[in-house]
Structure 1
Amino acid sequence: MARISIVHSTEYAYRNPVGLTRHRLMLRPDDSHDLRLHHAALAVDPHPSLIHWTHDAFDNSICVLEWPETLRTERLSIVSTLELTHHPDGPPAPVYSLDPSAEAFPFVYAPDEIPDLASLAEPQTPDPDRTVEAWARRFVGEKGKARTLAVLEAMTHAIKAEFRYEARHEEGTQTAAETITLGSGTCRDFAVLMMEALRSFRVAARFVTGYLYDDTSGTTRGGGSTHAWCNVYLPGAGWMEYDPTNGLIAGSNLVRVGVARSAAQALPVAGGYIGSPDDSIGLSVDVAVRAVPI
């Protein structure tokens, strides 16, 4: 358990004064059994004429910002400050919680769960040569003998060990097949790879956006930016978190902010401007995380 302070700063710079379109923010986590939010503040400059909070289709907390049509600015600054307590779930899916029907991999969901999980268990990115499926099958071996928790753990550690982490600040995410071919990617690319590998077996997985902290040293990890991983639905155990970038399992050191079916649905800050294409001259993102064990 840790008391955590997070300051997430996003700043856009423009060559000429521009107008601002509606912006959508996914920066505030919701209270849960593993997270208690004590304080959340949002500072925006220039100040919006409308700030509206809502929940999306995945029940994430979403903030919508709008500015007057007459506004023109050469910069946009968004600073989110959070104070929270994190209670990691601990070891993944202990024997007493994982349903016996899911102990062997691959498993099949119960009929009453399939309608709710169907879209999350379908591959979302192209894999015309079945590259992802072939990569995923190396973790299963002989049918009926693979154990679910062992497969998930092996896949998590293999991505960390076998792929190069390369920071990329451009928008967008590689397909899982592209990541395998390149042998490298960002945290969001690795999350998508693990999700698509599991979805090739019709296992439900979601993209998670949030923050990574080190509860041993109290220093920031994850390159001073937001972090991404995935969670997997296991009958009996529920949604379990896996971070293939760092080989972390079951939510340790991970502060979940939002979940979605795809990476494109989980952008921390999304929006645009009214002006020329070359008016955008800079984007800087800084995330400072301070964790103190309790």
Structure 2
Amino acid sequence: MRFEIRHETEYQYSHAVFLEPHLLRIRPRSDASQRLIEFDLEISPEPTGCAHLVDLDGNATMRPWFSGHHDHLRFVSHSIVETLRDQPFAYLLDAEADSLPVQYEQIQLQLAPYLRHDAGPAVTDLAAQILSASESKPATFARLLNQRIHDLCPTETRLEGDPLTPAQTLGRGRGACRDVSVLFMEVCRVAGLAARFTSGYVAGSADQERFLHAWAEVYLPGAGWRGYDPSLGLVVADRHVALASGPGSMDARPFVGRFRGSNVEAQMSVQLQISTDVSA
């Protein structure tokens, strides 16, 4: 499937401010699941300079810096991406992925940030339920957990703010896509399945209002990182475009930055347009 994506984010400030260097993770990644065909980015005001780097999770990251004082900051990205993974279960697991907790052996140290958790009783209990239902099979566990969270916590739209804690999401019985993704990750980690947070885009109907999306990925030896979207109850295939991934939501945020100024009010607006071509 081919995606064409226009993503505009603008910050308006009540007074001119000094913009600190920003960190941008808005360039779609190229990997085994998707291919970036075209990408361009407009930044206003024009930055004094911009560094391009690759972070610890392999995300293509940009770091622009600015001079002077400005009353706005606008990013407009245009991407064309071809998604490649039409069969999400086309893999052969290694022997160490036969049972939970997964025996990651030689990559245990590398995966430590994706296994760290601080789960409370409600999350631990949910993990125990899914472990029993899945007979501790990692891929089955992820699939059943994905559907269970989708059933337990209907999706709501919350445009701003950090994700809720897993306990808060379970207690409320609903959550934004980032909330249920963090819940999914925490339950996986309790069970001994490495998980990370992913931000990106998802296909939808032409008349649907679009927002940045989030889901989770788990590391299955023999299959690598595989996505699960509890907000939609789907295993991620060719209808998702990933921007960035990391151990936590902050590690995959598309825009990170600060400004300097006194008594300043800031307003953010986002316009996202996504078109898809299934024949591509």
Coordinate RMSD, CA, aligned: 1.9
| 1:91 to 1:35, Cα distance in 2 relative to 1, 3 A | closer
**Residues 240-293 of structure 1: CA deviation (Å, up to 9, x unaligned):** 1101111110433111111101101111011111112x4223101121111111
Q: State the Cα distance separating 1:44 from its structure 2 match.
A: 0.9
Corresponding residue of 1:60? 59
Deviation at 1:187, TM superposition (A): 0.7
Q: In structure 1, what is the Cα distance between the partners aligned to 2:251 and 2:164?
A: 15
User: Using the alignment, how far apart are the partners of 1:72 and 1:196 within structure 2?
Assistant: 42
Shift of 1:220: 7.1
1:85 aligns with 2:77: no
Which consecutive unaligned segments of at least 5 residues does structure 2 have?
Answer: none
Which residue number corresponds to residue 15 of structure 1?
A: 14
Q: Which residue of 2 aligns with 1:145?
A: 135
Alignment of 1:172-251 (within 5 A): 172-214=162-204, 219=206, 223-251=209-237
1:116 alignment partner, one of 103, 110, 114: 110
**1:73 aligns with one of 70, 74, 97:** 70
Unaligned runs of 5+ in 1: none
Higher helix share: 2
5 Å-filtered alignment, 1:273-292, equals: 273-276=259-262, 278-292=263-277
Matched, 1:46 2:32: no
Is residue 102–residue 138 contact of structure 2 (8 Å, CA) maintained in 1? no
Deviations 1:101-157 (A, max 9, x none): 4233x233242121221221121xx43x42211122111227x93433322111111
**For residue 126 of structure 2, what is the aligned residue in structure 1?**
135
Give 1:271's match in structure 2, choosing from 245, 257, 261.
257
TM-score normalized with structure 2 length: 0.93
Q: 1:110 to 1:172 in 2, by over 3 A?
A: closer
Selected match of 1:170 from 160, 164, 183: 160
The TM-score normalised by the length of structure 1 is 0.89
Cα distance in 1 between the residues matched to 2:215 and 2:28: 15
**Runs of 4+ in structure 1 over 4 Å off:** none
Preserved CA contact (<8 Å) 2:6 2:274? yes
The number of aligned residues is 279
1:257 and 2:222 matched: no
